[in-house]
Amino acid sequence: MGIYLVREADAGGRFSWPGPDRLRPLTGVGWQQAQELADRLDGARIARIVSSPWLRCQQTVLPLAEARQLSIDAEAGLGQIASVDRAMRIVAEAVGPTLFCSHPELIYAIIERLRASGRRVRPLCGVAWTTAHVQAEVVAAG
């Protein structure tokens, strides 16, 4: 069973957006990355999509969700200021092949923790990685 880890696609700089950061949308490049993600995962088994509630993360997985007719479950534990421990617990509790989308700092921290525990994490495209299902003991070892 696979776990997919996706970082938000390009949303430009935080200071280039005049509104609240949680509402910062993808740029044109970001939408291209989101479509590339959907194309790259065509045929992959994904039963659930879980994302940060921040707009740019939701938009990153939108093309994939629409292609698969899957809903996007918003999870505050994957938000911009979430803790790595909480995010690791969310990933470990996944049932079935699940895709998780969050912000770069959190995704990179999850990948680092998984690799430190001996897990193989493979890149898929510019914004995504995959690994086998994460067990609770990997979370506890972090």
Domains of the chain are: 2-12+27-120 (3.40.50.1240)
* Higher pLDDT, residue 9 or 14: 9
Mean pLDDT of the chain: 91
Non-local (6+) Cβ contacts of 100 within 8 A are: 3, 4, 5, 6, 50, 51, 78, 87, 90, 91, 94, 107
Give the C-alpha separation, 16 to 112, whole Å: 29
pTM, to two decimals: 0.92
Per-residue pLDDT tens digits for 61-113? 999 999 999 999 999 999 988 899 999 999 999 988 999 999 999 999 999 99
Place of tokens 């949680």: 22
